[in-house]
Structure 1
Amino acid sequence: MGGPDFGALGEEAELVEVEPEAKQEILENKDVVVQHVHFEGLGRTKDDIIMYEISDVFKAKNLIDVMRKSHEAREKLLRLGIFRHVDVLIDTCQGDDALPNGLDVTFEVTELRRLTGSYNTMVGNNEGSMVLGLKFPNLFGRAEKVTFQFSYGTKETSYGLSFFKPQPGNFERNFSVNLYKVTGQFPWSSLRETDRGISTEFNFPIWKTNHTLKWEGVWRELGCLARTASFSVREESGHSLKSSLSHAMVIDSRNSSILPRRGALLKINQELAGYTGGDVSFLKEDFEFQLNKQLIWDSVFSASLWGGMLVPIGEKPSSIADRFYLGGPTSVRGFSMYSIGPQSEGDYLGGEAYWAGGLHLYTPLPFRPGRGGFGDLFRTHFFLNAGNLCNLNYGYVMVFSLEQESDFYNTETFLHHFMKPCSVIEIKTIMYLNVV
């Protein structure tokens, strides 16, 4: 009598196990119940804010659903900014009340220290700065945060104290209060400005949009940066008090905020000053729109448009500190920083209305050197942009920037971009035509 062929049975069983669809079907069809959720490592964090973030785990109906909802809960816990590490362990339920299909989910967490510090340097917009920060995370046990930050730069020095409080169960809905002092130098206007202020913000989502309501009260001190400052800048010198209400709406479907490949962005801002106090009165509106589309050969086409208008309320003209500025690598390339629009004796005074737009094409480097590694951080950038800045009572001033590659003298400008997670470095050569 021949015995069973264990070898053949083992091979068949192995073939069945490696089929992902069959394995996934078994896991999805197996009904389970999450009986207990445990936390290990909690200290000063309150239970109620934790329950809001993990409540969906109890609604899972099968093992795949438990894994997915546990991962989502882990991401929500990390987003609170109160834990250094969050690990998830899923096991069968133990104890007298354990069900045959019962599961226990355990979150192993490590809370942040009561006081944390940071030090970093930043370089951008032709300015370098050193930033020191102190943070008190999870101050009262419900994800509150108090932050002190000091920044010393080549053109700007600032320090501020802020308090942040999210709504339990809805982190996007939050409230913050800020106290600050900022001293900045603006060489394009021969202007020095010192702001001392307080602001309150309330952020909340509505459907696919994010909104911010803000009140700001600021004491501003304007002065000349050099003895050669124009008379138009000198007459703006002195003190002013601005109290304003503002609203911002953002719709962002981009896959990344740094050189996105697809999606769109729309920002709309309104600011009303003077009705809550102060000696500055105006209505200010501006918007930004960006559309990104991925093309063949890993190329990306992007179109962008900005615009805005400032209307003084009353007989007092607008302040140089409230106007729009245009020009430079962040708006209309080919011009010096904020060097478009009305000026007086070489000092740029800003404008009360503007628009700017650009067309961009991002492509991989020719011949794809370093493909799949370091070379993917570099991209070639072709672009065309234009802009217009004017004062409402100055007449109409048109500024157009047509930028060309200096080697070939055509209408395509190229830049080499080096991409990092939080920044973009540009190396460019530009010739421009200024039409007034």
Structure 2
Amino acid sequence: MASTGDDESIVEKLKQKVDTRDIQKREQEINARIHSQYEKQQERLGELIGSNSTLPVTISSVRVLGATHTRRGFLERIFNPILSINKSEPYTLNEAIAEIASSADKLDRFGIFKSPISVYIDKPDQTDPNTTPTDLAVFLSAHERGKYTIKTGTEAGHAEGSAYLNVILRNIFGGAEALNANASLGTRTRSAYSAFFDTPILSNPNFNFEIGGLANTTLKSFASHEELLKGGSARFRYTTPSRRHKHELTYQGLWRQITGLAENASPTVRADAGDSFKSSITHTWTRDTRDLPLLPTRGSLLRTVSELAGIGPLKGDVAFGKLELDTQTAVPVQLYSTRTGEYWDSGISLTAGLRAGLLYPLSSGYPGSSDSKPQHSRLNDRFQLGGPTDVRGFRLSGLGPRDGPDAVGGDVYAAGGASILFPFPRVGKDTPLRFQAFVNGGRLLALKDVRSDVEKEKDGEGGMSSRAVAQSVRSTVQELRNELPSCAAGVGVVYAHPVARFELNFSLPLVVRRGEEGRKGLTFGVGISFL
């Protein structure tokens, strides 16, 4: 039996519980009241804008708060166009809000301010004789990001490990300029150094200019050599206002050297050893509507890369035209619920992709000149195919022409693949982790020399005639369609990190041609592009 003291203790505890319940109840009532008031304010604001959406207003001033290191002239180019003094007709309230939001978004896209940028609209001081009843004053609260970022770390991929240092200097001259410098040391990419300066044009995030240089040394064990690159590039970028289309126009001058040949290097690799200089112009067009580029569940990608090297004023000692096409489509799989009678998002998605490329040898110098003929393509410029995030189930550069132990690349290729991705049980569809089943394949071919002995003797050692090159390209493209592609199937795990896509797969080669290197078993890959 409980004592009197115990009874009092129990009563006190009951009182505390009642008090706690009362407090919790009052807190819930207060929160509900605040939420209700907030909803009413939002409704009132919506009604106010809706009922006055066509009323004429004028934007009298725009102030950016917190932009201490950003040039005034840079900001004026962004916001001056929306000031009513620069407009021939007054805004409606809806139009003014849309213009303010568009300019704030443009400022955010430069990447020099922390997101989000807060926007406030207020009436100016009515005692100011220069104001009118229709004036609006706009304030943007922006917090500048740090002037620099330094990152160090290590990376691991298939048959490669590296350590890197990345330094980014932002808003260098107060106009969203940036300097990006990188240095890395690794097992396959022995050393890589680059520095690129990027600046927007006329305070417009849709127009960018970049200039810089690089120097790197890469071990290409699949072809028994090392490649040294040194050079520079200038790049102009344009993004359409809808941001659905991106264009890049790049000039690149690169000194390349094939060196460090292995003892068993093939005659093909030895023939291309030494120095070459490539001077080229490249245009890249991209249309990307995928929701997540590294783990898409819906949308499509279409990219073309066109490169022209060594002709006309470009000079250099290699001349060719190069075209690549990359396309991908992702479709979500919706399942039907018999309980609700509706379709629901299962997190399952289907992804299919197709890539193709053609390298066309050209005569160096100006068109029509008789002092040069198209040469065979060099090892530096040919396509390579196969790898853990490329055509899975094959070793790195495991598809295509070989000379002894070396993968010497090809001039024409086509590759495709399809995957179905499932969310992990108990993990959920909102995580970047997926289980995948895939099938992929491709073919990589060198240009076929279709000349007769008489034509070869006529052309001599200076290269093929333009007519012979055209016939060779046509014959090789036809050969690409004649037989089954090398292909493989498998299952694996995919993790989409914000920086790269990680894959751990078990692959089983199904069709492997003589000389090609399939890979049965587990493979690990890291990349930003995939089939």
Q: Deviations over 1:108-140 (max 9, x none)?
A: 333345554332433344423222233332233
Q: Does 1:323 align with 2:378?
A: no
Contact 1:324/1:352, CA 8 A, preserved across alignment: yes
SS in 2 for 1:94: coil
Q: Does 1:429 align with 2:459?
A: no
Alignment counterpart, residue 88 of structure 1, candidates 109, 115, 119 = 119
Q: Does 1:237 align with 2:273?
A: yes
Alignment counterpart, residue 104 of structure 1, candidates 137, 148, 153 = 137
Q: Does 1:194 align with 2:194?
A: no
Q: Does 1:371 align with 2:428?
A: yes
Deviates more, 1:93-102 or 1:208-217: 93-102
Alignment counterpart, residue 390 of structure 1, candidates 430, 439, 445 = 445
SS in 2 for 1:255: coil
What is the Cα deviation at residue 22 of structure 1? 6.1
Q: Does 1:151 align with 2:184?
A: yes
Q: Deviations over 1:181-209 (max 9, x none)?
A: 11111111112000111111111245753
Alignment counterpart, residue 316 of structure 2, candidates 271, 278, 284 = 278
Counterparts of 1:12-51 in structure 2, within 5 Å, are 18=40, 23-30=45-52, 31=55, 33-51=58-76
Q: Deviations over 1:27-65 (max 9, x none)?
A: 332345443221233334222321333457657643x77
SS in 1 for 2:390: coil
- 2: CA distance between counterparts of 1:68 and 1:53? 14
- 1: CA distance between counterparts of 2:149 and 2:422? 41
Deviates more, 1:296-305 or 1:334-343: 296-305
Q: Sort the Cα spacing of 1:87 and 1:153 in 2 relative to 1 into closer, same or farther, 3 A.
A: farther
- 2: CA distance between counterparts of 1:195 and 1:16? 61
Q: Sort the Cα spacing of 1:57 and 1:318 in 2 relative to 1 into closer, same or farther, 3 A.
A: same
- 2: CA distance between counterparts of 1:124 and 1:171? 34
Unpaired stretches in structure 2, ≥5 consecutive residues: 1-32, 85-90, 335-345, 363-372, 450-475, 514-531
Q: Which residue of 1 aligns with 2:105?
A: 75
Q: Sort the Cα spacing of 1:108 and 1:21 in 2 relative to 1 into closer, same or farther, 3 A.
A: closer
Contact 2:423/2:429, CA 8 A, preserved across alignment: no
Q: Deviations over 1:50-96 (max 9, x none)?
A: 1333457657643x776665554333223213334644344342252
What is the Cα deviation at residue 105 of structure 1? 2.3
Please tell me the residue identity of whatever aligns with 1:173.
F
Alignment counterpart, residue 391 of structure 2, candidates 322, 326, 332 = 332
Contact 2:389/2:503, CA 8 A, preserved across alignment: no
**Higher relative CO (CA 8 A, sep ≥ 6), structure 1 or 2?**
2
What is the Cα deviation at residue 278 of structure 1? 1.0
Counterparts of 1:119-268 in structure 2, within 5 Å, are 119-156=152-189, 157-205=191-239, 208-268=244-304
SS in 2 for 1:234: helix
SS in 1 for 2:383: coil
- 1: CA distance between counterparts of 2:412 and 2:165? 37
Contact 2:148/2:168, CA 8 A, preserved across alignment: yes
Q: Sort the Cα spacing of 1:34 and 1:123 in 2 relative to 1 into closer, same or farther, 3 A.
A: farther
* Larger Rg, first or second structure (1 or 2): 2
- 1: CA distance between counterparts of 2:320 and 2:349? 39
- 1: CA distance between counterparts of 2:445 and 2:207? 38
Deviates more, 1:107-116 or 1:126-135: 107-116
Contact 2:181/2:194, CA 8 A, preserved across alignment: yes
Q: Sort the Cα spacing of 1:153 and 1:66 in 2 relative to 1 into closer, same or farther, 3 A.
A: farther
SS in 2 for 1:48: helix
Contact 2:228/2:258, CA 8 A, preserved across alignment: yes
SS in 2 for 1:165: strand
Contact 1:185/1:225, CA 8 A, preserved across alignment: no
Q: Sort the Cα spacing of 1:19 and 1:132 in 2 relative to 1 into closer, same or farther, 3 A.
A: closer
Root mean square deviation of aligned Cα: 2.9
SS in 1 for 2:448: coil
What is the Cα deviation at residue 350 of structure 1? 0.5
Please tell me the residue identity of whatever aligns with 2:220.
F
Q: Sort the Cα spacing of 1:20 and 1:42 in 2 relative to 1 into closer, same or farther, 3 A.
A: closer
The structure that is strand-richer by fraction is 1
Contact 1:161/1:179, CA 8 A, preserved across alignment: yes
SS in 2 for 1:433: strand
Please tell me the residue identity of whatever aligns with 1:432.
P
- 2: CA distance between counterparts of 1:358 and 1:111? 44
Unpaired stretches in structure 1, ≥5 consecutive residues: 1-10, 405-412
Please tell me the residue identity of whatever aligns with 1:164.
D
Q: Sort the Cα spacing of 1:102 and 1:123 in 2 relative to 1 into closer, same or farther, 3 A.
A: farther
- 1: CA distance between counterparts of 2:350 and 2:436? 10
SS in 1 for 2:382: coil
- 2: CA distance between counterparts of 1:93 and 1:72? 22
Q: Deviations over 1:244-263 (max 9, x none)?
A: 11111111121221111211
What is the Cα deviation at residue 217 of structure 1? 0.8
SS in 2 for 1:214: strand
The structure that is helix-richer by fraction is 2
Q: Deviations over 1:331-357 (max 9, x none)?
A: 211001111011112110000100001
Contact 1:399/1:435, CA 8 A, preserved across alignment: no
What is the Cα deviation at residue 382 of structure 1? 1.8
Aligned length: 411
- 1: CA distance between counterparts of 2:38 and 2:68? 46
Q: Sort the Cα spacing of 1:142 and 1:243 in 2 relative to 1 into closer, same or farther, 3 A.
A: same
- 1: CA distance between counterparts of 2:114 and 2:43? 36
SS in 1 for 2:511: coil
Normalized against structure 2, the TM-score is what? 0.70
